[in-house]
Amino acid sequence: MNILEVKNLTKRFSGLVAVNDLSFEVEEHSIHALIGPNGSGKTTTINMIGGVFPPSEGQILFNGSDITKKNTHEIARLGLGRTFQNIKLFNSLTVEENLMVGGHMSYAKSGIVNFFFDFRNARREETALREETHRVLEFMHLEEIAKRQVGGLPYGMLKMVELARTMMTNPRLILLDEPAAGLNPSERRELIDILARIYEGGVTLFLIEHNMDVVMNISHVITVINFGSKIAEGAPVEIQNNPEVIRAYLGDRYNLKA
Ligand SMILES: Nc1ncnc2c1ncn2[C@@H]1O[C@H](COP(=O)(O)OP(=O)(O)OP(=O)(O)O)[C@@H](O)[C@H]1O
């Protein structure tokens, strides 16, 4: 079953066609990468899927429902999580508090009015939120820094905290925008390990990534775009040997026949 279907997506910014009639499907419980040269339309594509802005043309289905015109909050509530190229965390809050804010959307259903009129219900939700926060902190190996203020943390850790916060919304699909960018080799290994564990937990992952070691290591399917259009799609070994992909993006480094 496809958890995500992107159909004939086009995005124009004034005169520029950033994404051009792009179609692809993401199978449920897979790791799917979108790669391509700088400026080829990857971020624009992920922004349309996540509801940052609507496409000029085309349709996006998530779990069979049309999400083409939904905003970021509506899409997140349906179970589509997201991390950003520029990390978006609350610097003055601790790691634990950032996760609780992230989870608040899916857990605190009683709202502020009910909080006063149905204190017991609000207490139950608060307890569930705390339990989930601890479960995610443990899963992501972040318990040791739970009480640290986010503002003082190194970049690699911030990326892990951002991913943990996304996990708090209990997503079925996570869109990852360059998860390995700025990480050192040991942080990259840790990232590969954590993404594999998230996938094994039943979550589908869709990532944009320039680090080909990461992409080739974890992806089941890779879609390649150039100038906003799809030029290839397949398993890593097929992509590494595709002459058009080598010419447009990979160069010879990843050509197994080279
Ligand atoms: N808000 C915008 N207004 C105008 N042009 C834009 C806007 N966002 C992106 N573009 C243009 O659309 C094209 C695709 O950009 P996009 O950021 O999607 O590419 P990308 O593949 O993500 O690149 P990179 O790998 O460098 O992040 C580029 O030519 C870019 O300059």
Whether 53 is covered by a domain: the verdict is yes
Nearest 5°: phi and psi at 231?
Answer: -115, -15
Give, for ligand 1, the residue of 44, 178, 229 to mutate: max count of ligand atoms closer than 8 Å to Cβ.
44
Q: How many domains in the chain? A: 2
Alpha helix (H) residue ranges in the chain: 42-50, 72-77, 95-107, 111-117, 119-139, 155-167, 185-200, 212-218, 236-240, 243-245
Residues 75 and 95 in one domain: no
Is residue 25, in this structure, part of any structural domain at all? yes
Domain extent, residue 137, equals: 89-155
Inform me whether the pLDDT recorded for 257 exceeds 50.
no
For β-strands 31-35 and 221-226, DSSP reports them as parallel
Mark whether 178 and 66 lie in a shared domain.
yes
Q: What is the CATH number of the domain that holds 58?
A: 3.40.50.300
The answer to whether 115 touches 122, Cβ cutoff 8 Å, is yes
Are residues 177 and 133 part of one domain? no
- 179: pLDDT confidence band, cut at 50, 70 and 90? very high
Testing ligand 1's pocket by substitution, the residue of 14, 16, 52 carrying the most ligand atoms inside 8 A of its CB is 16
**Given the CA of residue 45, which atom of ligand 1 is nearest to it?**
18
81-140: per-residue pLDDT in tens? 998 877 889 999 999 999 998 887 665 454 555 555 566 677 777 888 889 999 999 999
**Average pLDDT of the residues in 181-207:** 94
What ipTM, to 2 d.p.? 0.96
